[in-house]
A and B are shown apart, each in its own frame.
Chain A
């Protein structure tokens, strides 16, 4: 599975502590710099979790607004990216619970696939089957699978984001993979 080396784009060298200090002084340029360094990855995660273009934008915005509003509470004990992604997950999960019509509004998977980096070798029927199997997973199991196997977060990070033990994250992942194997096995038999 693809691994994420860090929680932000390391190609953009940033002195985040200095940026944070400037943001706390009301410097919107610093805010924009910090936003640009993290927004693509936050948006990607949020979209994977909610599967809706407009909601992903709303949740990403809410994430940064909340992060900036609470920036004075950020003590630097964890990486800023970790702190930010924890907010993103919280905002997204709470938002999804509030939006009851989410399932009806989800963008059809096939439309979105054309926008991404999907391997041409991948079988469309298989993709649909896997997507349906992922969607059918219990919420916690699904989130763990997305964050670990697709987005490349560690079990420690997932545990922190979701407020669970690392062992729980591992067992959820094991469960998710097992369910996907079953779904794929049924597909192969067909």
Chain B
């Protein structure tokens, strides 16, 4: 073997030296964000929202036809319109009653970040659940629908552990119901998920989840004014 050949083989072997695995960028960013900027549920829901947008855009490109993702976007827009109406009509009672004087009121003391995050989260969740019937193609759940349910489930659990849920029993109950529903959706099998989906749909109707969600979004938005 010549020296050049040896050098070439060495270079080739060096390229395989400690090849890094794919870095978990989201996981690392969570730690960095918390350490430098402080914890924020806003960023978490924002990231879920970004992923949702990317997934929807990707799906539009690949399928070239309206999908449940498009429906979600449309419904989210309608929801935002509803929020706007809610903001304009100040007669809607807020979810959280005003705290008695001298009593700590979470929404007054720490309103902005959690209120924005909760509103955004509820909006995404109602859009997702409303789009549930369209998320089934050929008897199987859409993979991106399941992924988004998983993202929202994470946010649900964060909100359940937050002061927002601790200080608002109605919100906490709603979040607990959503946690169950989203957990079921996130665990839907890639195949044979039709039966489970039907059960989830029935549970949604029986527990009146979507109307309660809409009410919560409008109420929190009204409370913001």
Contact = CB atoms under 8 A, between A and B. Distances in A.
Interface of A: 1-2, 26, 28-29, 31-32, 35-36, 39-40, 43-44, 47-48, 51, 53, 56-57, 60-61, 64-65, 68-69, 109, 112-113, 115-119, 121-123, 126-127, 129-131, 134, 145-146, 149-150, 177, 180-181, 184-185, 188
4 smallest beta-carbon distances between A and B, as pairs: A116-B19, A47-B20, A118-B16, A130-B13
B33 A28 contact: yes
B18 A47 contact: yes
B10 A122 contact: no
Contacts of B12: 119, 121-122
B102 interface: no
Given A36-B25, A53-B21, A31 B37 contact: yes
A122 B13 CA distance: 6
B20 A28 contact: no
Contacts of B16: 113, 116, 118-119, 122, 127, 131
Contacts of B36: 31, 64-65, 68-69
B23 A180 contact: no
A51 B25 CA distance: 18
B23 A40 contact: yes
Interface residues of B, number: 33
Main secondary structure of the interface of A (DSSP, over half): helix
A117 B18 CA distance: 11
A112 B19 contact: yes
20 contacts: A32-B43, A39-B28, A40-B25, A43-B20, A43-B28, A56-B20, A60-B23, A60-B28, A65-B36, A68-B32, A68-B36, A115-B19, A115-B21, A117-B15, A119-B12, A119-B15, A122-B15, A122-B16, A130-B10, A181-B7
B40 interface: yes
Contacts of A109: 17-18
A164 to B, nearest CB: 21
B22 interface: yes
B31 interface: yes
Contact of A185 (B6, B11, B35): B6
B14 interface: yes
Contacts of B20: 43-44, 47-48, 56, 112, 115-116
Given A68-B36, A112-B19, A127-B13, 9 more contacts: A26-B37, A112-B18, A117-B19, A123-B9, A126-B9, A134-B14, A134-B17, A177-B7, A184-B9
B13 A126 contact: yes
A61 B9 contact: no
A96 to B, nearest CB: 13
B116 to A, nearest CB: 14
Contacts of A115: 19-22
B91 interface: no
